[in-house]
């Protein structure tokens, strides 16, 4: 097989769950870098609206449920018609869990797996087909979690989905053989709506166990996500941990 040139920097990034928390910070970073961005979540927030108003020629926002493949197809059609083809995806949207496995209903387990694993895999497939149809090469970043590598009570189904995406990352990188760079970022706990179920005692315990002596912040994840989207590093098929050393 012939040698592949480097995958170009992203020019139009699709960010799932780009309405708040880490996702909104990723959207802001893509804008700061000069690229275009399409962001969606079930609810469009003021933060998304402000960015779209400030950068009408580079930001497309939409309301869509990640489990609704038809809505996502429509979003991709509209945003690529407006801003040009999408050549990168950040699979950030997810729902959390705060229940022991024995107390988690079958419906809830199904919902966590559909939202956090099946839907991102289908969206990845959709975006890859979009890129390949346009003869483009691109980049995929999965936002997973340290929970996929270390055990945390109350997060069984959630951890299973994140481990599934980590495994898919490696295999996709191999399948795409340089036509796409596929990587995952596995953060430790950071403050957000998702992690707001943790009480101060639990947060203090995590901080104590973290060698860097402080919890992760979304801003700690941004430089790495930026590099995976824009730089020529030849990092591929990796799961990169950002957890202050909590898992060592
Ligand atoms: N917070 C942590 O401690 C932590 C640690 C490790 C990894 N992570 C991962 O980091 C990523 C971001 O988490 P976060 O803490 O920033 O969470 P967050 O504040 O709860 O944000 C989650 C985002 O996903 C969207 N979302 C959820 N369900 C969706 C659906 N069905 N369809 C479309 N969008 C949906 C949410 O918007 P809507 O609800 O309006 O749809 C929101 O934009 C997630 O993948 C999470 O698993 C978080």
Each residue's pLDDT tens digit, 81-110:
999 999 999 999 999 999 999 999 999 999
Domain 12-242 -> CATH class: alpha beta
Find, among 174, 176, 172, 150, the residue nearest to 163 by Cα.
Answer: 150
Ligand 1 center to residue 6 CA distance, Å?
31
Over residues 223-248, mean pLDDT = 97
**Which residue, by CA, sits nearest to atom 20 of ligand 1?**
194
- Listed by start position, the domains of the chain span 12-242
Query: ∠ at Cα 247 (164, 156), nearest 5°?
Result: 40
CA atoms within 13 A on the CB side of 161: 27
Instruction: Inform me whether the pLDDT recorded for 76 exceeds 70.
Output: yes
pLDDT digits (tens, 9 = 90+) for 116-128: 999 999 999 999 9
Rounded percentage of the chain residues whose pLDDT exceeds 70: 99
**Which residue, by CA, sits nearest to atom 36 of ligand 1?**
17
Ligand 1 center to residue 142 CA distance, Å?
12
Instruction: Inform me whether the pLDDT recorded for 4 exceeds 90.
Output: no
**pLDDT at residue 1 in the model:** 59
Lowest mean pLDDT across 11-20, 96-105, 190-199, 225-234: 190-199
Q: C-alpha distances in angstroms, 33 versus 26, 58, 184?
A: 11, 11, 20
Ligand 1 center to residue 17 CA distance, Å?
6
**Of ligand 1's atoms, which has the minimum distance to the CA of residue 16?**
34
152 is catalytic: no
Mean pLDDT, all residues of the chain: 96
**Of ligand 1's atoms, which has the minimum distance to the CA of residue 41?**
34
**Which residue, by CA, sits nearest to atom 42 of ligand 1?**
17
Identify whether the C-beta of residue 43 lies closer than 8 Å to the C-beta of residue 66: no
């Amino acid at each position: 097989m012939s040698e592949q040139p480097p995958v170009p920097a992203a020019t139009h990034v699709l960010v799932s769950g780009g309405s708040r928390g880490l996702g909104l910070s990723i959207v802001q970073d893509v804008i700061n870098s000069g690229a275009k961005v399409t962001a969606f979540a079930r609810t469009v927030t003021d933060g998304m609206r402000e960015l779209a108003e400030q950068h009408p020629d580079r930001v497309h926002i939409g309301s869509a449920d990640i489990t609704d493949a038809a809505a996502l197809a429509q979003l991709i059609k509209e945003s690529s018609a407006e801003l040009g083809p999408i050549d990168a995806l950040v699979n950030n949207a997810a729902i959390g869990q705060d229940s022991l496995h024995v107390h988690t209903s079958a419906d809830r387990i199904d919902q966590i797996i559909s939202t956090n694993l099946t839907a991102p895999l289908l969206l990845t497939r959709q975006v890859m087909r979009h890129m390949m149809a346009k003869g483009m090469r691109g980049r995929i970043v999965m936002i997973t979690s340290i929970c996929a590598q270390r055990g945390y009570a109350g997060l069984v189904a959630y951890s299973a989905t994140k481990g599934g995406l980590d495994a898919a990352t490696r295999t996709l990188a191999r399948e795409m053989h340089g036509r796409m760079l596929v990587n995952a970022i596995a953060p430790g706990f950071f403050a957000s709506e998702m992690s707001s179920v943790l009480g101060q005692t639990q947060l203090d315990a995590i901080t104590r166990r973290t060698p860097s002596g402080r919890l992760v912040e979304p801003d700690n994840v941004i430089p790495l996500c930026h590099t995976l989207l824009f730089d020529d590093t030849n990092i591929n098929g990796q799961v990169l941990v950002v957890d202050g050393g909590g898992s060592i």
